[in-house]
Amino acid sequence: MSLSLTIKLHLASSSSSHLTHHHHAKKVTTFETCCYNAKIRPKPIYSTNPLIIPACRVRPRVQCGAMVKSSLIEPDGGALVDLVVPESVRGAKIIEAETLPKVQLTRIDLEWVHVVGEGWASPLRGFMREDEYLQSLHFNSLRVKDGSFVNMSLPIVLAIDDETKGRIGSSSHVALLGPDGDFVAILRSVEIYKHNKEERIARTWGTTAPGLPYVEEVITRAGNWLIGGDLEVLKPIKYNDGLDDYRLSPKQLRDEFDKREADAVFAFQLRNPVHNGHALLMNDTRKRLLEMGYKNPILLLHPLGGFTKVDDVPLDVRMEQHSKVLEDGVLDPETTIVAIFPSPMHYAGPTEVQWHAKARINAGANFYIVGRDPAGMGHPTEKRDLYDPDHGKKVLSMAPGLEKLNILPFRVAAYDTKVNKMAFFDPTRAKDFLFISGTKMRAFARSGENPPEGFMCPSGWNVLVKYYESLQAEEPSEQPVLST
């Protein structure tokens, strides 16, 4: 797959103050593990998040005795949503939840509670009621009180079955139980409406072909009703997988950007390991921003951390690989923040990439890097791409509610065999360039074959090789329960 990228950007007002001093973050640290498996490991990869700087070490920005207004882009709706209840009332809320009808959440439902509760979907304040659902499904946007629109390309909904609907009856509020049976949230002033799965699938993915990962995992097996309402999240969502310190909320990220005195933030989402082509594009982005007059642009390296399809590299392995990229200096740890975006992945192409861009606005990013075929995948039943590879970046340039963002095209990056490193593609000597797709990269790692020198930092590559070696080691021990 080629790496034709574009950057989505919001041009800051010329009156914005450009501050040159920034706090130096510590390098990401990690430990080596002797083996990997595809399941969540109980041991943490990171003992702490070195990107969270103690407040006592950060000097507030002041000007003439007053606090300087943040230069970050405003969240959608003008205010960042935070639906986690204060600790002082948590006990009383849990006691109330025990008296309410119960709705059982799946792990992916819990990821959506996390997303909405922290404000990634601002100004949305809960699972969608029918009017919000229809706006999202048909217009990819929501109308807010002042008459303007914010982007909302994916319906964020909670499905229930007939039995659960019957238990709820006429109750106005319900309690949401996590996969482990603990009280996660209260859903207030609920509305229950029909879940037309075929319409939802067709409008979100543009096809009803069998084999769409999110559809098979979530929608097909879901109930025939949707329940919407206002969320009260009873406690911060934790996964206890060793990575919780890297799940920074939009508020935490905005605080960190302010501490570093960022005057521009550019976000790069990926669900694959970082190779040197990615790094080239990210580093070149920062160089361009400096040339535009920004003094301290900060990179938000923001891998997707929710549901992904089974053949994607697991999150814990990707995070370990990302840490090696920073340790080896391929990306500058002093101008990079690594955090996890908790959203599940739909693989819905141009529809989903709008959600990815919109969510980063709420985290304070005013630049968004978007690649070839963003959020896309191969057609589940035919040998072709499901979406046109260029449609994602084109849709972002005209999507309703994303007017704060503009597109700056990037050149294609590929492996230059003349200099043995990733470089921008030169069509005058096309035969010198090698395109290594994510699929090809994973095939190298599975076979133990090294990619061309300069494609990825060696320590990062070793993380992938160990992971695939562990999968091969597990396969012989997996015996069928029954044989014929």
Residue 39's pLDDT is 37
Whole-number Å distance between alpha carbons of 433 and 438: 16
Residue 50's pLDDT is 47
Whole-number Å distance between alpha carbons of 115 and 194: 23
> Structural domain boundaries of the chain?
85-231, 242-472
Residue 8's pLDDT is 38
For residues 150 and 125, the answer to whether their CB atoms sit within 8 Å is no
86 three-state secondary structure: coil
Whole-number Å distance between alpha carbons of 242 and 40: 9
Q: What is the CA radius of gyration of the chain?
A: 23
194 three-state secondary structure: strand
Nearest to 352 by CA among 140, 72, 129: 140
Q: Which two tokens stand for residue 245?
A: 């310190």
Residue 239's pLDDT is 97
Whole-number Å distance between alpha carbons of 255 and 70: 10
| Residue 72: burial class (beta carbons within 10 Å; 0-12, 13-18, 19+) | buried
Whole-number Å distance between alpha carbons of 53 and 61: 15
Residue 449's pLDDT is 87
CA distances from 114 to 153, 167, 346 (A): 18, 25, 16
Whole-number Å distance between alpha carbons of 384 and 269: 24
95 three-state secondary structure: helix
φ, ψ of residue 461 to 5 degrees: the values are -65, -40
151 three-state secondary structure: strand
215 three-state secondary structure: helix
CA distances from 290 to 12, 261, 284, 293 (A): 13, 14, 10, 5
Nearest to 263 by CA among 298, 227, 219, 212: 298
Number of other residues whose CB lies within 10 A of the CB of residue 481: 4
Q: How many Cα atoms are found within 13 Å in the side-chain-facing hemisphere of 144? A: 16
Whole-number Å distance between alpha carbons of 380 and 338: 32
One-letter identity of residue 354: Q
One-letter identity of residue 287: K
Q: Which two tokens stand for residue 190?
A: 């609920």
168-186 per-residue burial string, b: 16 or more CB within 10 A, e: under 16: beeeebbbbbbeeeebbbb
User: Between vectors from CA 143 to CA 86 and to CA 152, what angle results, nearest 5°?
Assistant: 70
User: Between vectors from CA 368 to CA 261 and to CA 153, what angle results, nearest 5°?
Assistant: 125
Provide the whole-model pTM.
0.84
How many separate helices (H) and strands (E) can be counted in the chain? 13, 19
For residues 220 and 106, the answer to whether their CB atoms sit within 8 Å is no
160 three-state secondary structure: strand
Residues of the chain with pLDDT under 70: 1-71, 406-411, 475-484
CATH code reported for the domain at 85-231 = 3.10.400.10
Pairing of strands 149-151, 141-143: antiparallel
Whole-number Å distance between alpha carbons of 368 and 7: 5
Residue 42's pLDDT is 34
Whole-number Å distance between alpha carbons of 9 and 373: 19
Residue 389's pLDDT is 92
Whole-number Å distance between alpha carbons of 25 and 45: 19
Whether domain 242-472 has CATH 3.40.50.1400: no
For residues 101 and 174, the answer to whether their CB atoms sit within 8 Å is yes
Q: Which two tokens stand for residue 480?
A: 């069928």
Number of other residues whose CB lies within 10 A of the CB of residue 411: 15
